[in-house]
A and B are shown apart, each in its own frame.
Chain A
Amino acid sequence: MAAMLQAIGGASPSVAFSDHYNKSSVSSIRSFPVIRSDARSSSGSIHGSFKPGKIITKATATQTESSASAASKPGHELLMFEALREGLEEEMDRDPRVCVFGEDVGHYGGSYKVTKGLAQKYGDLRVLDTPIAENSFTGMAVGAAMTGLRPVVEGMNMGFLLLAFNQISDNCGMLHYTSGGQFTIPTVIRGPGGVGRQLGAEHSQRLESYFQSIPGIQLVACSTVYNAKGLMKAAIRSENPVVLFEHVLLYNLKERIPDEEYVLSLEEAEMVRPGEHITILTYSRMRYHVMQAAKTLVNKGYDPEVIDIRSLKPFDLYTIGNSVKKTHRVLIVEECMRTGGIGASLTAAINENFHDYLDAPIVCLSSQDVPTPYAGTLEEWTVVQPSQIVAAVEQLCK
């Protein structure tokens, strides 16, 4: 019986999460060097076909051990920005070539506190406060990477990295190839993106859709405290340039993570909730909207399989494919724009590879193709809400 990743969805950011590392097989814990887990197929939900009429308060089938006190549980509890910092600090301890470039990362500690305390510990050169010149300091990171360092570039908001598009596309992505393999660019470019709470259009951008065509880079999106730390470490250790998408509303998520060191795989997707009826693919903050919708769906008798794709480029077609082959229905829920987003690419990829297994057209729920409005009501309508997800699943599973 495959233990399942247990996550309780909710739109509010500070919900406590149950342990991840107690599960036995469908886990992404890796030892070093990063290896693939063998237990990739989930054996289906525990409670079989749906039982209408039984109210389940949690979206997952098995009950978690929720009554044990915090002190007796192994691991430690922390917030997501602390986990990112922990991952970064561990890597900086481990390898003196790892350095951080960004605006206000040093003395200020990062505008989202991800680098708090690091400048005091490692000095002003390893945690470099840059002037406001994204294109140039990203290019500087490329030059430093080519000559032996391993820089982590922080965009104060992902949207600011649009100014660095020249360097990210031409130099990060392509230099390894145009130099015939002579120079590697082991940079990590990270920052908070996504729609926040009334931050306005320019601070609410989703850059994953703009970056996805750039050859030579990998895109990953973290969504839980556990995978944030693991992906941060994996991204720093990778020889490829990696763009790590964090979400501005998820920084205060609290979760208990292992004390032992762990590194996740950059290319794998995460099985959040195995199911039988429909595959829901999602990433980043929409995972929580999906899990909230899943609660409602389970109460209505559906059994959705939820996969957090995590790796936005390249797609983990194995996990996704296995799921499609099982459920035959796909719903993609993303925060990207409708046009040219991650969902659009994913739809194409699934159609191309698993067309025969589909019983219904793929439905993709994305944000509206509008600049994110300031007004709260309008902002709510630009982003996919759990009720829309429930409606889409009901429609697909007819």
Chain B
Amino acid sequence: MACSATAQIIQPLSINSARSVDNSGACTKILSPSSFLGSTPRINKKLFAVNKSISSLARRPTIVFAVSSDVVKEKKLKSNSSLSNLLITKEEGLELYEDMYLGRAFEDMCAQMYYRGKMFGFVHLYNGQEAVSTGFIKLLKKEDCVVSTYRDHVHSLSKGVPAREVMSELFGKTTGCCRGQGGSMHMFSKEHNVLGGFAFIGEGIPVATGAAFTSKYKREVFKEDCDEVTLAFFGDGTCNNGQFFECLNMAALWKLPIVFVVENNLWAIGMSHVRATSDPQIWKKGPAFGMPGVHVDGMDVLKVREVAKEAIGRARRGEGPTLVECETYRFRGHSLADPDELRDPAEKAHYATRDPITALKKYIAENKLASEAELKAIDKKIDELVEDAVEFADRSPVPARNQLLENVFADPRGFGIGPDGKYRCEDPKFTEGTAQV
């Protein structure tokens, strides 16, 4: 029952815990207590056996499709010679660290501001998942597109949307990236190609597929030299939704330049992934549609980055989509309104030890990529940036009444013709926001 094979026959894993550890046909060996996986204090049994090694260097992503084996070979090499052949340079290391720390500091500040009554509604924080956002998005160009869900603050920040604009948007001010009209769950940026920000899960995946289609269209119809890729981020709950499967099919069918990134944090509000999914291993669903499915440790930014390089490279070369499942965890509740009482404290404690920022810090220190002082300087810089963002948002104006009707239609003639024969948008009250439309 060795678990080092890269291509393996996938047996359905049994959910009944008592037998699963010893008798499962899947060649996995438990090196860590799997009782933490999607478990609540009430469920004390081990739910299923999946390779969950504590030792991060020995960990390899399990891949079924042969195309991805290069990554595995590469990783084997890396794991054997971890002191030379470093995965990142100093500049890259600091960039990754800064981005993850920005995500963390920003989200912590969001929580503070929420409880102080500066922002309202549903706010979903990304603490703990920074490795996925940083690992993927820092490899993109400005023209590449990112589509996310409601947990989109950090994706926007990683893509380059200024913290000021995101914070203003959260405060509902007119200087926000969406003029205050979107809010926490709808971060959009045309400049940085962040295509949202969607409140319904699964809703963004077709939009991402469409953006990837445009890239292919530009290449094949306009004959442009276009290698833009699109990343679609979504969670484990989304992987049971029809739109996910429909888009996997279309993306593989037309070889669209897209990467489907599953941020499997094991919980959809209070629904544990294993309670909602017949086969909890999401990466296996990729090969069913004809694309590689990769599983990676989403708490380790370097591993995520390696897989991301391969997946994004595939897309850029026109070889088609990839499904990447990142095993990750959110340290806070689903949203700021979630009391988060259901998750086992032991599980939370376990993942807290795998904090991606601490892990990267450790890697940087061990490999002497940068000094403690340099990291502290970055911390300070980011803290100031976030403070500045809050101050900027605070002093920004709220939207005026005249903003109410402005962006409903791109062509405001869509409001129609009034009884007086003029278009309603020609009514002077329209620009005041008080017209009858």
On A, residues with C-beta under 8 Å from B are 40, 96, 99, 123, 125-126, 130-131, 133, 135-149, 151, 166-167, 170-171, 175-186, 215-216, 218, 238-240, 266-268, 311, 313-319, 321, 353-354
Contacts and interface: CB of A to CB of B under 8 A. Distances in A.
A313 B413 CA distance: 11
Q: Which 4 A-B pairs have the closest CB atoms?
A: A143-B210, A139-B206, A314-B416, A180-B179
Given A147-B145, A314-B415, A139 B203 contact: yes
Given A180-B181, A314-B417, A171 B203 contact: yes
Given A175-B196, A240-B410, A136 B243 contact: yes
Nearest to A268: B417
Given A133-B250, A240-B411, A171 B207 contact: yes
Contact of A179 (B186, B205, B209, B416): B186
B119 interface: no
A318 B250 contact: no
Nearest to B212: A143
B410 A184 contact: yes
B208 interface: yes
Given A144-B211, A267-B423, A131 B417 contact: no
Interface string B186-217: 10111000011111100101111111111111
B339 interface: no
Given A138-B206, A171-B203, A176-B409, 18 more contacts: A99-B221, A131-B253, A133-B242, A135-B206, A136-B205, A137-B250, A147-B195, A147-B210, A176-B408, A178-B182, A180-B188, A181-B179, A182-B188, A182-B190, A215-B408, A238-B411, A239-B409, A316-B417
B257 interface: no
Given A176-B408, A311-B416, A140 B178 contact: no
B188 A186 contact: no
B181 A178 contact: yes
A178 B176 CA distance: 11
Contact of A126 (B221, B406, B420): B221
A183 B104 CA distance: 29
Interface of B: 145, 147, 176-182, 186, 188-190, 195-200, 203, 205-218, 220-222, 242-243, 246-247, 249-250, 253, 406-411, 413-421, 423-424, 437
A177 B408 contact: yes
Contacts of B218: 148
Nearest to B199: A170
Contact of A182 (B178, B210, B246, B417): B178
B181 A139 contact: no
A354 B221 contact: no
B182 A179 contact: yes
A321 B222 contact: no
Contacts of B210: 139-147, 151
B182 A167 contact: no
Nearest to B177: A180
Contacts, number: 194
30 contacts: A96-B222, A123-B221, A130-B250, A131-B249, A133-B249, A136-B246, A139-B207, A140-B210, A140-B213, A140-B247, A142-B207, A143-B210, A144-B213, A144-B217, A145-B210, A146-B195, A147-B215, A166-B203, A170-B203, A171-B207, A179-B181, A180-B179, A180-B181, A182-B190, A239-B410, A266-B413, A267-B414, A267-B416, A313-B416, A314-B416
Nearest to A140: B210
A166 B214 contact: no
Contacts of B419: 317-318, 321, 353-354
Contacts of A136: 205-206, 209, 242-243, 246-247, 250
B416 A317 contact: yes
B178 A125 contact: no
Contacts of A147: 145, 195, 210-211, 214-215
A215 B437 CA distance: 11
Contacts of B217: 99, 125-126, 144, 149
A182 B406 CA distance: 12
A143 B203 contact: no
Given A131-B250, A139-B209, A149 B420 contact: no
Contacts of B145: 147
Given A133-B249, A180-B180, A317-B419, A216 B408 contact: yes
A258 to B, nearest CB: 24
B249 A180 contact: no
Contact of A240 (B243, B253, B409): B409
B31 to A, nearest CB: 39
Given A133-B250, A139-B209, A170-B200, A239 B411 contact: yes
A126 B221 CA distance: 8
A133 B246 contact: yes
A176 B410 contact: yes
Given A123-B221, A139-B203, A176 B242 contact: no
Contacts of A144: 210-211, 213-214, 217
B203 A180 contact: no
A329 to B, nearest CB: 18
B414 A176 contact: no
A176 B414 CA distance: 13
A270 B30 CA distance: 73
Given A126-B221, A133-B249, A166-B200, A317 B418 contact: yes
Contacts of A138: 206
Contacts of B415: 314
A319 B176 CA distance: 41
A311 B416 CA distance: 9
Nearest to B185: A178
Contacts of B418: 317-318
B189 A182 contact: yes
A139 B221 contact: no
Contacts of A175: 188, 196
A177 B181 contact: yes
A178 B421 CA distance: 30
Contacts of A239: 409-411
A121 to B, nearest CB: 13
Given A96-B222, A149-B217, A177-B181, A167 B203 contact: yes
